[in-house]
Amino acid sequence: MKTTLNCGGKLLDLSTPRVMGIINTTPDSFYEPSRSQNIDQALRQAEQMLIDGAAILDIGGMSTRPGATLIDPETEQERILPLIKSLVKHFSEVIISVDTVYATTAQAAVDAGAGIINDVSAGKFDAQLLPTIAQLRVPYVLMHLQGTPDTMQQNPHYRHGVVPTVVQFLADKLAFLRQLGIHDVVIDPGFGFGKTTEHNYQLLKSLSVLQILGLPIMVGVSRKGMIWRTLGIDAKQALNGTTVVHTIALLNGATLLRVHDVKEAVEAIKLVELYKNSI
């Protein structure tokens, strides 16, 4: 399995699982504490995440929560580019991922210092995105999404089962990416993106199947509805449940955890790694 990524000249070692911390510059992301409305707040949040052990900071300028509508790339760039530049200035060694579906945003973000593009759409929303990724030569997070954010949770269903569908989708898309010359890829099954709670837990239980693709596996379950709805709480109360699901994901092959709470995710990785390596 591929264990290193060249992130704009910075090497990311994934021989053991790592953590990606979420920083949103949006007014409407589903988990309010992840939103940063000014540079100073975002820098403080970033500093704490790095202290707590984050290997990557994932910057988002557009919410893709269920029911969200896509904003224009110009607004997205106005939100994220000043932050990326400030992060590079204050934390020169940081690896920055940008959560976008737009080619122009990907280009501008990498020009500003980002080293990974994290795309929930698998290139479906902007025909120029994947060719742009190929030119930029930065790692690409390929995620499965059924539908669009504004419709994806309206009765999602899978005729041939969610696990075979997701695996086949990722395999087919990987073949296309390789034709374009995109080889540094992280795969993400897309928890909560066009899936029922049952679908999400079927994917979690079968996560190890994705290892046949030979690529790092990213899991984004942090404080999502598959946790808090199941427990009858809300997202703010879902940290303990998130840690439980992270533990299961790590035992089933997750390489990268995309999280709101870095410290707890790093602790989960340490304990799971000790368990897995014990004789």
Positions marked active-site:
224, 258
The CB-based long-range contact list for 47-51 (8 Å cut-off, 24+ gap) reads: 47/90, 47/91, 48/262, 49/21, 49/23, 49/262, 50/21, 50/91, 50/94
Q: Which two tokens stand for residue 260?
A: 């709101």
Residue 90's contacts (CB-CB under 8 Å, 6 or more residues apart) are 43, 46, 47
Per the CB < 8 A criterion, the answer to whether 130 and 182 are in contact is yes
HEC profile for the chain? CCCEEEECCEEEECCCCEEEEEEECCCCCCCHHHECCCHHHHHHHHHHHHHHCCCEEEEECCCCCCCCCCCCHHHHHHHHHHHHHHHHHHCCCCEEEEECCCHHHHHHHHHHCCCEEEECCCCCCCCCHHHHHHHHCCCEEEECCCCCCCCCCCCCCCCCCHHHHHHHHHHHHHHHHHHHCCCCEEEECCCCCCCCHHHHHHHHHCHHHHHHHCCCEEECCCCCHHHHHHHCCCHHHCHHHHHHHHHHHHHCCCCEEEECCHHHHHHHHHHHHHHHHCC
